[in-house]
Amino acid sequence: MIANEIKEKLRAIVGAENVLDSNIDRFGYSYDSSFVPLVPANNPDVVVRPLTTEEVSQVMALANEHGIPVTPRGAASGRTGGSIPLAGGISLCLDRMTKILEFDEKNMMITVEPGVRTVDLYNFCAAKGLFYPPDPASWKFSTIGGNVAENAGGMRAVKYGVTSNYVMGLEVVLADGTVIQTGGKAIKNVTGYNLTQLFTGSEGTLGIITKVLLRLIPMPKARNTLQLMFYSLDDACATIHKMLQSGVVPAAAELMDKMSIQAVARHRKLDIDQAVEACVIIEIDGDNKEELDKQAEQIATIARGFNVAEVRIAQSKQEEEDIWAIRRGLSSAVGAMAPNRLGEDISVPRNEFPEMVRRIRKISEKYNLPIAVYGHAGDGNLHPSVLCDLSNPEEAERVHKAVDEIFAEALAVGGTLSGEHGIGITKRPYTISALGEGGIRVHKAIKQALDPKGILNPGKIW
Amino acid sequence: MIANEIKEKLRAIVGAENVLDSNIDRFGYSYDSSFVPLVPANNPDVVVRPLTTEEVSQVMALANEHGIPVTPRGAASGRTGGSIPLAGGISLCLDRMTKILEFDEKNMMITVEPGVRTVDLYNFCAAKGLFYPPDPASWKFSTIGGNVAENAGGMRAVKYGVTSNYVMGLEVVLADGTVIQTGGKAIKNVTGYNLTQLFTGSEGTLGIITKVLLRLIPMPKARNTLQLMFYSLDDACATIHKMLQSGVVPAAAELMDKMSIQAVARHRKLDIDQAVEACVIIEIDGDNKEELDKQAEQIATIARGFNVAEVRIAQSKQEEEDIWAIRRGLSSAVGAMAPNRLGEDISVPRNEFPEMVRRIRKISEKYNLPIAVYGHAGDGNLHPSVLCDLSNPEEAERVHKAVDEIFAEALAVGGTLSGEHGIGITKRPYTISALGEGGIRVHKAIKQALDPKGILNPGKIW
């Protein structure tokens, strides 16, 4: 527990109203959007909500002096437990740092504080004709600081890349309170090590991000949305594969298997043919509407070559939204199918996507566990969801083995443990198999170098 | 000096014919393509040319055991002294590791050894319809390992990015001989820290790159090349600026000032109007020739709005090459104008390009030194070349001050010390002003963590 004397110092830094230590507050900051069980051991001793970099710096200096663990937190929308304060100490919540500090229209860049919500950033830029593409599923409540810390992805990654592709520079408060700046507005920049990319995706283990410089791109002027239904998952995969090989780069290419589709159908009372085994949603965008119409027809032709059951090309904004509603409702619809849902986030080389889906189906049969599969087929990032009841110990055992095998198979086809959710707590046991002993040693050496007392987000990644 | 006993061990590892220690060989490996003076102190004690990762690992283990400095080297085409063995020891030359290990057409990726020449990689991929865009000026002799170590750029960076944008994974031999793998073929990958980007651009100070996994893109089907002559540098800058703001993303946008143009004209016996103050070469590419022709006309119209003296749109392959010959001949033509040429490589926010050019001209006047300015205007990366005679101590003093001011002004407009050449030896004195004390401390901490004995490329970056 943190001594009252230290709590007093924290109150002096951020103001008494921004230091929370009631039991209910501590509980409120003990969990995130992952399936890590709720346990009192994960309560922070105190929640601290700074407003400025200077306050963050003072909090870190104090914590470092006393060896107090600090777990940074944005909106706690993470899926792997990254913001859960495993070792107690301070939950450092950056939700008050919500300023848009500079909008540089000429260089098409924006500087924001970490607590700005992703959707607010998107809307702010869109109103000025500029586009911030990364769109993690949680973008309506996730914060930019969290997006950077986890290197969040999203559906548009296939064409536009992930958060790290937009981060030009950072302000970071180190474990001892030192404030550093990385990167900058120069597009080409090879001065020193690429610290910007080292901190991006480091899951709060190397420093606290207090400012983010992001590049923006022009907003595409037109968009087409297609929904393709297939009687076979293989045909769906083959269509996506051939589309990508033909040079069409979609803004999104999402795939859902039958279990996912039927879950949404039940949830949203949609009538979807039981014979349909896979649904693919493709969005293409660009500046030339005619060109896009041609591309849509090209995709439809490819799909017809693979025995497509239904091709629907949205003819209105409303129809676009109807199509996307299926995909957007997926996570909660699948989650409602069983007491527990273990949603994973593996990522494989793009051409291994169909093979990985086949291997997941084998695992599902082997362990007699329903596994709904959906994901960003365009970039090889899958979200298999194991539907289960973890209160049944025998079933929990099977789930555990199935998840182990999913990770092993992902690595076996040249993939990795996480495409966009991070490692956090939930994938920690598998890190060694992905990074190897030498790789882990390098991670630990860097961590030790930047956070010698190990106070920053302890218990994560490895 | 390295003891004979250790040389024997090196011979046992890589073969006697691949361990060079004659005076002439040691001298041959003491310099690169920078303007670092030739001094005997920069001779390595021994040159070692391994063929395999295993050999590199054994050499590093031996060097680490005995605290022997190791300076990795590709083609020594670097412009900042990165491969100069400042502290003697081993010059580890990777020029025998030239294998293309895997070409993965389906995932559009290629795995190569570090000694593969950039041009050979480009040609290999081009023959298969794929495009490896990074094109540092030295691409006809530079190696991929060096490109990755320095994060090399080039003319196409404005549209296609630099080397780091193509590096998906690396095999790295650490200071103690440990071999690690980073990244992989999964497009989305957030498993652990981004070590791939940490090693990319680390200038041989953190590890030896022994394998490089690169992504490729489809080769654009068509291309247009434009040459625009202006009576004023400001008009040239304004044209580029307006073109970029209008949403045209050229594959290259190069600018040369009058001194640069006249240098090439003399060198290549071209007849260029003395009233011309700036030349801009723009290349646009894509899959649709009609679209490109429209874009070329759009650019020409913008240029006419800024009083352009001449617009030339290449009508043939030959004419394209004639236009590019002006830019390609630039470095040697400018170099021939004075006994010494200090070519710099600053990078500024894109909209500050014209302002930076103005500031360089003021510095040129203040110190009465000719400074030819050319560079990648499209991405804010300038190469001011101070033409001088360093054997004149009074002039050398002025040159020193002028270069100091160029760096100070680049930082003042929000830019950085190096866009694509790296820091190496020549920019080391300025690193502190760019990265700040905290930033340098982080660099040193990471270096210490990965190379505790400081044997890897000592004396570079800071």
**For B93-144, what is each residue's pLDDT tens digit?**
999 999 999 999 999 999 999 999 999 999 999 999 999 999 999 999 999 9
> CA A331, CA A263: separation in Å to the nearest integer?
9
Q: Which of B176, B189, B353, B462 to mutate to test the interface with A (most CBs of A within 10 A)?
A: B189
Query: Can you tell me the distance from the alpha carbon of A178 to that of B215, in angstroms, rounded to the nearest whole number?
Result: 37
Measured torsion, CA atoms of residues B266, B269, B275, B279, in degrees rounded to the nearest 10: -90
| Candidates A191, A193, A439; nearest CB to B418 | A191
Q: How many CA atoms are closer than 13 Å to the CA of B177, on its beta-carbon side?
A: 14
Q: Nearest 5°: phi and psi at A7?
A: -60, -40
Query: For chain A, how far is it from start to end, CA to CA, in angstroms?
Result: 25
Residues A399 and A426 in one domain: yes
- Coil/strand/helix, residue A308: strand
Is the per-residue pLDDT at B259 higher than 90?
Answer: yes
B176 and B224 fall within a common domain? no
Q: How far off is chain A from B176, nearest CA to CA, in Å?
A: 11
Q: What is the CATH number of the domain that holds B431?
A: 3.30.70.2740
Contacts of B247 in chain A (CB under 8 A): 218, 287
Whether A266 and A348 share a structural domain: no
Please answer yes or no on whether B349 and A185 come within 8 Å at the CB atom. Answer: yes
Q: Is B46 within the bounds of a domain?
A: yes
* pLDDT per position as a tens digit, B43-102: 999 999 999 999 999 999 999 999 999 999 999 999 999 999 999 999 999 999 999 999
**Interface touch B347/A201, C-beta < 8 Å:** no
C-beta separation of A154 from A420 below 8 A: yes
Euclidean distance between CA atoms B209 and A172, whole angstroms: 28
Same domain for B81 and B143, yes or no, is no
Average pLDDT rounded to a whole number, residues A261-281: 93
B224, B290 contact by CB (below 8 A):
no
Instruction: Give tens-digit pLDDT for A2-32.
Output: 999 999 999 999 999 999 999 999 999 999 9
Q: Any idea how long chain B is?
A: 462
Least confident residue range of A171-175, A327-331, A410-414, B192-196? A327-331
Whether B410 and B431 map to the same domain: the answer is yes
* Helix, strand or coil, per DSSP, at residue B325: helix
The predicted pLDDT at position B1 comes to 83
The domain that holds A197 is classified in CATH as 3.30.465.10
pLDDT digits over A134-170, tens only? 999 999 999 999 999 999 999 999 999 999 999 999 9
Query: Closest approach of chain B CAs to the CA of A336, in angstroms?
Result: 28
Q: Which residues pair with A228 in a beta bridge?
A: A280, A311
Beta bridge partners of B310: B229
Q: Using the 3D structure, point to which of A284, A312, A333 is the last residue of a domain.
A: A333
- Does B297 share its domain with B352? no
What residues in B contact A185, CB-CB < 8 Å?
A: 348-349, 414-415
Structure tokens at A393: 């110990």
What average pLDDT score do residues A43-48 get?
98
Residues of chain B contacting residue A379, judged by C-beta atoms under 8 Å apart: 187-188
B205 in the same domain as B122: yes
Of A431, A446, A462, the CB nearest to B446: A446
- Hey, are the CB atoms on A376 and B188 less than 8 Å from each other? yes
Mutate to test the interface with B, among A131, A190, A195, A423 (most CBs of B within 10 A): A190
**Residue contact A443–B192, C-beta within 8 A:** yes
**Type of residue found at B225:** T
Residues of B in contact with A157 (CB under 8 A): 187-188
| pLDDT at residue number A205 | 98
Closest CA to A378 of A294, A274, A284: A284
The CATH number of whichever domain residue B268 belongs to comes to 3.30.70.2190
- Looking up residue B70, the CATH number of its domain turns out to be 3.30.43.10
Residues of B in contact with A197 (CB under 8 A): 194, 197-198
Q: What percent of chain A has pLDDT over 90?
A: 93
Residue B331: is its pLDDT beyond 90? no
Confidence of residue A325 (pLDDT cuts 50, 70, 90): confident
pLDDT of residue B452: 98
Closest Cα of chain B to A224: distance in Å? 20
Q: B-chain residues within 8 Å CB-CB of A418? A: 189-191
Report the residue of chain B nearest A150, measured CA to CA: B190
Going from the C-alpha of B187 to that of each of A49, A163, B168, the distances in angstroms are: 35, 13, 8
Least confident among A89-93, A243-247, B358-362: A243-247
Question: Using 50, 70 and 90 to split pLDDT, how confident is the model at A328?
Answer: confident
Q: Which long-range contacts link B287-290 to residues 24+ away (Cβ below 8 Å)?
A: B287/A247, B287/B220, B287/B221, B287/B222, B288/A291, B288/B221, B288/B222, B289/B221, B289/B222
State yes or no: pLDDT of B361 exceeds 90.
Answer: yes
Answer yes or no: do A185 and A115 share one domain.
yes
B189 is written with which tokens? 């990958």
Instruction: Tell me which of A247 and B227 has the higher pLDDT.
Output: B227
Chain A residues with CB under 8 Å of B454 CB are none
Q: Are residues A241 and A271 in the same domain?
A: yes
Domain membership of residue B28 (yes or no) is: yes
Other Cβ atoms closer than 10 A to A74: 31
- Rg of chain B over Cα atoms, rounded to whole angstroms, equals 23
Tell me the mean pLDDT in the region A273-298: 94
Give residue-wise pLDDT tens across range B316-328: 999 999 999 888 8
Residue where one domain finishes, among candidates A175, A192, A218:
A218
| Domain contains A229 | yes
pLDDT digit string, tens, across residues B164-185: 999 999 999 999 999 999 999 9
Question: Nearest CA of chain B to the CA of A438: how many Å?
Answer: 6
The yes-or-no verdict on residue B270 having pLDDT over 90 is no
Angstrom distances, CA of residue A282 to CA of A355, B150, B206, B245, B407: 21, 38, 42, 29, 48
In the three-class reduction of DSSP (H, G, I as helix; E, B as strand; rest coil), residue A239 is classed as: helix
pLDDT of A331 reads 86
Note whether B73 and B178 are same-domain residues.
no
HSE-up (13 A, CA, CB side) for residue A423? 28
Q: What is the mean pLDDT of residues A21-44?
A: 95
Query: Are B443 and A192 inside 8 Å of each other by CB?
Result: yes
- Closest CB to B380: pick one of A186, A200, A379: A186
Residue B424, token pair as written in the block: 């190496």
CA distance A441 to A462: 10
> Which residue from B151, B206, B347 is facing A186, i.e. has the nearest CB?
B347
What per-residue confidence (pLDDT) applies to B66? 98
Task: Tell me the shortest Cα–Cα distance from B274 to chain A, in angstroms.
Answer: 32
B161 falls within a domain: yes
Local confidence band at A35 (pLDDT 50, 70, 90 cut-offs): confident
Q: Residue B82 carries which side chain, given as an amino acid letter? A: G
**Distance linking the first and last C-alpha atoms of chain B:** 25
How many domains, chain A?
4
User: Looking at the predicted structure, is the pLDDT value of residue A247 above 90?
Assistant: no
For residues A188 and B325, the model is more confident at A188
For the cut 90, the answer to whether the pLDDT of residue A288 exceeds it is no
Tell me what pLDDT residue B29 has: 98
Taking only the tens place, the pLDDT of each residue in B196-255 is 999 999 999 999 999 999 999 999 999 999 999 999 999 999 999 899 888 899 999 999
Domain that holds residue B14: 4-93
| A111 and A124 both lie in a single domain | yes
Flag whether A457 is in a domain: no
Q: Is the pLDDT of residue A460 over 90?
A: yes
A218, A244, A269 - which closes a domain: A218
Q: How confident is the model at residue A417 (pLDDT cuts 50, 70, 90)?
A: very high
Is there a domain that residue B412 lies in? yes
pLDDT at B245: 81
The answer to whether residue A383 is domain-embedded is yes
What residues of chain B lie within 8 A of the CB of A180, using their CB? 436, 438-439, 442
| Chain A with chain B: Cβ pairs closer than 8 A | 228
pTM here? Answer: 0.96
Across the interface, of B197, B202, B445, the residue whose CB is closest to A450 is B445
Residues A211 and A232 in one domain: no
DSSP line for B423-461: -TTTTGGGHHHHHHHHHHHHHHHHHHHH-TT--BSTT--
Position A329 confidence tier, pLDDT thresholds 50, 70, 90: confident
Residue A347 within any structural domain of the chain: yes
Question: What is the predicted pLDDT for the residue at A246?
Answer: 85
